[in-house]
Amino acid sequence: MLSLKEKIASHIAVFEQLATIEQPIDAAAALIQTSCLDGKTVFVCGNGGSAADAQHFSAELTGRYVLDRPAYAGVALTVDTSALTAIANDYGYAQVFARQLDGLAKSGDVLVAISTSGHSANIMAAVEVAKKKQMQTIALLGRDGGQLASVADISIVVPAYETARIQEAHSFILHYFCEWLEPLPAITD
C-alpha cells in the first residue's frame, strides 16, 4: 500500500496534467455557461462515483456553488429510482439514461456524460439519444477516453488510469464549470 505522501504525490501529478487539456475544459465550461444563461437544461449522468458527481454538479446548478444567483436548470439522470428501475426492468440497464433523455430533453440542451473508462453502455446510449435530439454533448473521461471520446462533441480525457484520481479530477473540473457561472473574486495574500 502506498503511503499518504505517495497518494498525495499521485493526486498532484494528475492535477498538474490538467493544464495540458485546458482547451476542451474551457470549451465545455463556455458551452455550459452559454446554455445556462440561455435557459437550456444541463443533464448529467454517470455510474457509481460518477453518478455521485452527476448529482453534485446538478445540485450546484439548481442551488448554488458559492454565490447567490438565479437557479439554472440542471438534472441528474441518476436520482429517480422509480424511473431507473422501471426502465432497467422494461428496456435493460443500458437504456436507463437514454430513455429519460428521450422524454425530458430538448434540442439545444446539454448532456454531461461522466465515465472513467469511456466504455459504459448506458452512457454511450445516452450520448446517442442526445445527438438525435440535437443536444450538445460533453464527456468527462479518463484513461484513453474509450469509445465515448470519439462520439461526444467535447471530450475531456483526464490523463490518468487510476479510477480514484480520475474521479478527483472530474470533481475539480465540475467545480471549475461552476466558477464560469459564478465568477469568484481573486484571493490574494
Nearby residues of 155 by Cβ (< 8 Å), 6 or more positions away = 24, 138, 139, 141, 145, 148, 149
Whether residue 89 is annotated as binding a ligand: the answer is yes
Whether residue 90 is annotated as binding a ligand: the answer is yes
CA angle 143/54/82 to nearest 5° reads 120
Whether residue 47 is annotated as binding a ligand: the answer is yes
The cell for 11 is 493526486
Whether residue 147 is annotated as binding a ligand: the answer is no
Whether residue 82 is annotated as binding a ligand: the answer is no
**Residue 156 bridge partners (DSSP):** 140
Whether residue 26 is annotated as binding a ligand: the answer is no
Whether residue 103 is annotated as binding a ligand: the answer is no
Whether residue 11 is annotated as binding a ligand: the answer is no
Whether residue 109 is annotated as binding a ligand: the answer is no
Q: What span, in angstroms and rounded, lies between the C-alpha atoms of 118 and 76?
A: 18
Whether residue 48 is annotated as binding a ligand: the answer is yes
Whether residue 62 is annotated as binding a ligand: the answer is no
Whether residue 122 is annotated as binding a ligand: the answer is no
Whether residue 58 is annotated as binding a ligand: the answer is no
Binding-site members are 47-49, 56, 60, 89-90, 115-117, 120, 167, 175
Binding-site members for substrate are 47-49, 60, 89-90, 115-117, 120, 167
Binding-site members for Zn(2+) are 56, 60, 167, 175
